[in-house]
C-alpha cells in the first residue's frame, strides 16, 4: 500500500528548496521589487493615478498632518523638470531620528494617536516608499534653531550632516527625483498637481499652498470645491453644512448623472468607500422624509453634485494608496460611520430645509421632473433592455476581451479598454491587432445620432446608444464600468472628426462624470508614413513628417493615411500597444461646455457655417 501511494505522489521539483532559498530583503529592496504594494502603479505621469503623484502626495500628507495639528499654515511645493521640493513649517522631524524616520520601516510618530489624532497615514510607510523609489532623495529638518539633513540614493544613505545652528523656521524640507528606471519617461502634469493641491486647501481652510509661485487657498471649504468642479449651473445656492469631524456640500444641476467627491482626513477617496455610500443614502433618506413622499433615491440624486469630508481615528483604507475607505467606525469609542453621518444629516439638513423654503421648493421641482422623466424612460427601458440582452454583442457589436471571462476579474481593471470605432474595415484592423486579454472593440454603424438637447430617453430608443450603454455597463452607475479606458477611435478625416464630436456630445450630455473621472480618451493614429529602403517612420503631425523627411534623406516614400482601415493589422499593433498615444478628454468649469455644444452641435446653422468658412484650411494632398 505504501509503495502504491508513493507511486501516486508527484516527483520532487528539479530545483532544490533549502536554506539558501529563504531570503531576507532590505527594506528598500522590497519596496523596489514590489512597488505596487506601496504606490499602486508606476506609470509615466499621463494619469492622475500614476505613481509619481502618489510619491508627491505621500510627502505632502505629512505636511498636512502638521497643519491639522495647528502648526504650519504654508506649504511650498516646487516641481521643475521632474525634481520635486516640498517645504512645510510644521514641528520638524526630531533631529536625532531624521534618518530612521525616512529609512526604517515600522518607524514613525503616527502610532501614537495622541500626537497624530486623525492623520492621513498611520503606517509610517509613505515617506520610505518615496525614498526607495527615488534616484535621489534629500530630507532636512529645522527644529528649535537647529538643523540636520540626509541624502539617499534609491533608499541607500549617502551622507548625513551633523546637527548645526539654523536661523530658519521650524519645519521639514523634502526633495526627491523619481527613479527614471522605474517611472520610464515620466513627467509631472501641472493640471493633475494643481487638482491635488486645490483639494488639500479646500479641506483645510486657512492653509496656503504655493506651487511654483502660484498660491492656492480656500475660505469656504467644500463650497469652494463644488464651485470649482461644477460644469453646470446650480439650481439653488450650495447647501454647506459642517460639524465636528464632518463637512458636506451639495446642490442640484440640470445635468444627467450624479457627482460625489469624498474625503477622509484630508485624503481624496476617489474610489469612494463606506463614508461615500452612507452619505449618498443618508442624503436621499433625509430629503425623502422631509418631503414626506416616497421618492425613488435615484430621482432625488439625479443631477446632484456633492462633497463629503469626515475625520476618522485610525482609518482603514483598502490599499496603501488610500483611495477607498473600508472603516465602519469613527474610532474605537465612537459611533459607526453610518450612524454618525445619518444623525448629522437628519438634524442639520432637515433644519436647513425648514429654514430655506425657497431652496426646498426648487429641489422638489427638480426631483419631480427627474421622476417624470424616469417614468417616461421606463416605458421604453424594458424593451430596450430586451434588445440589448437578445443582441449577440460578442458577434454583432462588441468584440469583448478575455478579462471579463476569467477568474482574474477585479484585478488589473486599469489595463482594460474599449475602442469605439466606425465601419467594418476600421474595427476589423483594430480587432486583429488588439491585445485580446484587455482590449475590446465596439463597432458603430454609420454616424451616431446628434444627442444635443435630447433627453435620456433617446439612449434607450437609439439602438447604437442602447447597446453601447449595455456594453459599458453604465446604465445605473459608473461604479460598474467594465473598462477603465473608453477610447474613441475614428478616422483622421472630416467624417471621422464628426463622429468623434457626436460621441463626445453623447458622453457630455448623458454621462459627464465618465469624462470628469478621466475614463474617456481619443486615440491618436499616425497621419503619415515616411520611409526609405532601410527605415519607416510613423508621423502624427506635419512637423513630425517634415522632421522624418529631413532625417531619412531625399525622396522618401510618403503615405498619407486617410482611414484606420488603410493601416495593416501588423502596423496597427504598434499604435494600440502599451505606448499608444491617447488624448484624455477633460471637463472643467472654464470649458463652458453648454455654450460650446450649443454652438457646434445646436441648430445655429448659419452662424456655424460662417465660422467654418472663415476658418477653412485646404490641405494639400502630399501622398506619393
Same domain, 203 and 301: no
Quick: pLDDT tens for 270-303.
888 889 999 999 999 999 999 999 999 999 999 9
Give me the pLDDT at residue 521, please: 95
The residue whose grid cell reads 526604517 is 104
Q: Is the pLDDT of residue 18 over 80?
A: no
CA distances from 611 to 64, 341, 440, 596, 604 (A): 49, 52, 37, 13, 11
CA distances from 226 to 180, 198, 248, 252 (A): 36, 11, 10, 11
Q: Is residue 11 part of a domain?
A: no
Same domain, 405 and 342: no
Q: Is the pLDDT of residue 10 over 50?
A: no
Same domain, 279 and 317: yes
Give me the pLDDT at residue 623, please: 47
Give me the pLDDT at residue 619, please: 55
Same domain, 177 and 87: yes
Number of H helices, E strands in the chain: 22, 23
Give me the pLDDT at residue 122, please: 44
What is the mean predicted confidence (pLDDT) over 201-222? Answer: 95
The residue whose grid cell reads 494639400 is 620
> Between β-strands 208-211 and 74-80, what pairing exists: parallel, antiparallel or unpaired?
parallel
Nearest to 143 by CA among 96, 202, 206: 96
Decide if 558 contacts 567 (C-beta within 8 A): no
Quick: pLDDT tens for 458-493.
888 888 898 999 899 988 788 889 999 999 998 877
Decide if 484 contacts 518 (C-beta within 8 A): no
- HSE, CB side, 13 Å, CA atoms: give it for residue 177: 12
Q: Is residue 624 part of a domain?
A: no
Of the listed ranges 143-152, 209-218, 388-397, 600-609, the one predicted with least confidence? 388-397
Same domain, 252 and 349: yes
The CATH number of whichever domain residue 606 belongs to comes to: 3.40.50.670
Decide if 531 contacts 557 (C-beta within 8 A): yes
Q: Is the pLDDT of residue 254 over 80?
A: yes
In the structure grid, which three cell numbers stand for residue 64, read together?
498636512
Residue partners of 376: CB distance under 8 A and separation at least 6: 455, 457
Q: Is the pLDDT of residue 506 over 90?
A: yes
Q: Is residue 550 part of a domain?
A: no
Looking at the 3D structure of the chain, how many domains does it have?
A: 3
Give me the pLDDT at residue 117, please: 53
Q: Is the pLDDT of residue 4 over 70?
A: no
Q: Is residue 483 part of a domain?
A: yes
Give me the pLDDT at residue 396, please: 67
Give me the pLDDT at residue 344, please: 96
205-214, 453-462, 544-553, range with greatest mean pLDDT: 205-214
Quick: pLDDT tens for 43-75.
889 888 889 999 999 999 899 988 988 888 999
Give me the pLDDT at residue 305, please: 95
What is the mean predicted confidence (pLDDT) over 304-309? Answer: 95
Give me the pLDDT at residue 361, please: 97
Same domain, 469 and 597: yes
What is the mean predicted confidence (pLDDT) over 601-620? Answer: 69
Same domain, 282 and 250: yes
Q: Which of 374, 409, 439 is the last residue of a domain?
A: 374
What is the mean predicted confidence (pLDDT) over 224-236? Answer: 93
The residue whose grid cell reads 534653531 is 145
Same domain, 205 and 227: no
Q: Is the pLDDT of residue 568 over 60?
A: yes
The CATH number of whichever domain residue 37 belongs to comes to: 3.30.565.10
Q: Is residue 14 part of a domain?
A: no
Quick: pLDDT tens for 97-153.
999 888 877 555 554 544 445 555 544 578 999 999 999 999 999 999 999 999 999
Percent of the chain with pLDDT over 70: 88
Same domain, 125 and 193: yes
Give me the pLDDT at residue 178, please: 95
Amino acid at each position: 500500500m505504501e509503495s502504491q501511494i508513493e507511486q501516486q505522489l508527484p516527483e520532487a521539483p528539479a530545483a532544490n528548496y533549502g536554506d539558501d532559498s529563504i531570503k531576507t530583503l532590505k527594506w528598500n529592496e522590497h519596496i523596489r521589487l514590489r512597488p505596487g504594494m506601496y504606490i499602486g502603479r508606476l506609470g509615466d505621469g499621463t494619469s492622475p493615478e500614476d505613481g509619481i503623484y502618489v510619491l508627491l502626495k505621500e510627502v505632502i500628507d505629512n505636511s498636512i498632518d502638521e497643519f491639522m495639528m495647528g502648526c504650519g499654515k504654508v506649504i511650498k511645493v516646487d516641481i521643475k523638470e521632474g525634481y520635486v521640493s516640498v517645504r512645510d513649517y510644521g514641528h520638524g522631524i526630531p533631529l536625532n531620528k531624521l534618518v530612521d524616520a525616512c529609512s526604517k520601516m515600522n518607524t514613525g510618530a503616527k502610532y501614537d494617536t495622541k500626537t497624530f489624532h486623525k492623520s492621513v497615514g498611520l503606517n509610517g510607510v509613505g515617506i520610505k516608499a518615496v525614498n526607495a523609489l527615488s534616484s535621489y532623495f534629500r530630507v532636512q529638518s529645522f527644529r528649535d534653531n537647529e538643523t540636520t539633513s540626509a541624502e539617499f540614493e534609491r533608499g541607500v544613505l549617502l551622507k548625513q550632516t551633523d546637527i548645526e545652528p539654523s536661523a530658519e523656521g521650524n519645519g521639514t524640507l523634502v526633495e526627491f527625483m523619481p527613479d527614471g528606471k522605474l517611472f520610464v519617461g515620466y513627467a509631472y502634469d501641472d493640471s493633475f498637481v494643481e487638482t491635488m493641491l486645490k483639494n488639500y486647501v479646500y479641506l483645510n481652510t486657512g492653509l496656503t499652498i504655493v506651487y511654483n509661485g502660484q498660491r492656492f487657498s480656500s475660505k469656504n471649504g467644500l463650497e469652494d470645491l463644488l464651485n470649482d468642479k461644477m460644469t453646470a449651473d446650480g439650481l439653488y445656492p450650495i447647501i454647506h453644512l459642517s460639524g465636528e469631524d464632518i463637512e458636506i456640500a451639495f446642490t442640484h444641476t440640470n445635468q444627467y448623472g450624479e457627482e460625489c467627491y469624498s474625503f477622509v482626513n484630508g485624503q481624496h477617496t476617489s474610489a469612494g468607500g463606506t463614508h461615500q455610500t452612507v452619505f449618498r443614502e443618508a442624503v436621499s433618506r433625509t430629503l425623502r422624509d422631509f418631503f414626506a413622499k416616497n421618492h425613488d433615491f435615484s430621482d432625488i440624486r439625479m443631477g446632484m453634485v456633492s462633497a463629503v469630508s469626515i475625520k476618522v481615528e485610525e482609518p482603514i483604507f483598502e490599499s496603501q494608496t488610500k483611495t477607498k475607505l473600508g472603516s465602519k467606525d469613527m474610532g474605537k469609542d465612537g459611533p459607526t460611520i453610518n450612524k454618525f453621518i445619518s444623525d448629522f444629516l437628519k438634524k442639520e439638513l432637515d433644519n436647513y430645509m425648514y429654514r430655506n423654503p425657497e431652496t426646498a421648493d426648487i429641489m422638489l421641482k427638480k426631483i419631480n421632473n427627474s421622476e417624470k422623466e424616469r417614468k417616461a424612460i421606463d416605458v421604453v427601458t424594458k424593451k430596450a433592455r430586451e434588445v440589448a440582452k437578445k443582441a449577440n454583442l460578442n458577434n454583432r457589436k462588441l468584440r469583448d476581451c478575455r478579462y471579463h471571462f476569467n477568474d482574474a476579474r477585479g484585478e488589473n481593471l486599469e489595463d482594460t479598454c474599449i475602442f469605439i470605432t466606425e465601419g467594418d474595415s476600421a474595427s476589423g484592423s483594430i480587432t486583429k491587432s488588439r491585445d485580446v486579454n484587455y482590449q475590446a472593440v465596439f463597432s458603430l454603424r454609420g454616424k451616431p445620432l446628434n444627442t444635443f438637447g435630447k433627453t435620456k430617453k433617446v439612449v434607450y430608443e437609439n439602438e447604437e446608444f442602447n447597446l453601447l450603454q449595455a456594453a459599458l455597463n453604465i446604465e445605473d452607475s459608473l461604479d460598474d464600468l467594465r473598462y477603465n479606458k473608453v477610447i474613441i477611435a475614428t478616422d483622421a478625416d472630416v467624417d471621422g472628426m464628426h463622429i468623434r464630436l457626436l460621441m463626445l456630445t453623447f458622453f457630455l450630455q448623458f454621462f459627464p462624470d465618465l469624462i470628469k473621472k478621466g475614463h474617456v480618451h481619443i486615440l491618436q493614429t499616425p497621419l503619415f508614413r515616411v520611409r526609405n529602403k532601410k527605415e519607416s517612420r510613423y508621423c502624427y503631425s506635419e512637423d513630425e513628417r517634415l522632421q522624418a523627411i529631413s532625417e531619412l534623406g531625399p525622396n522618401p516614400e510618403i503615405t498619407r493615411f486617410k482611414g484606420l482601415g488603410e493601416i495593416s493589422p501588423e502596423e496597427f499593433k504598434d499604435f494600440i500597444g502599451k505606448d499608444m498615444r491617447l488624448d484624455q478628454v477633460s471637463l472643467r468649469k472654464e470649458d463652458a461646455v453648454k455654450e460650446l455644444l450649443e454652438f457646434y452641435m445646436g441648430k445655429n446653422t448659419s452662424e456655424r457655417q460662417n465660422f467654418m468658412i472663415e476658418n477653412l484650411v485646404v490641405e494639400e494632398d502630399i501622398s506619393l
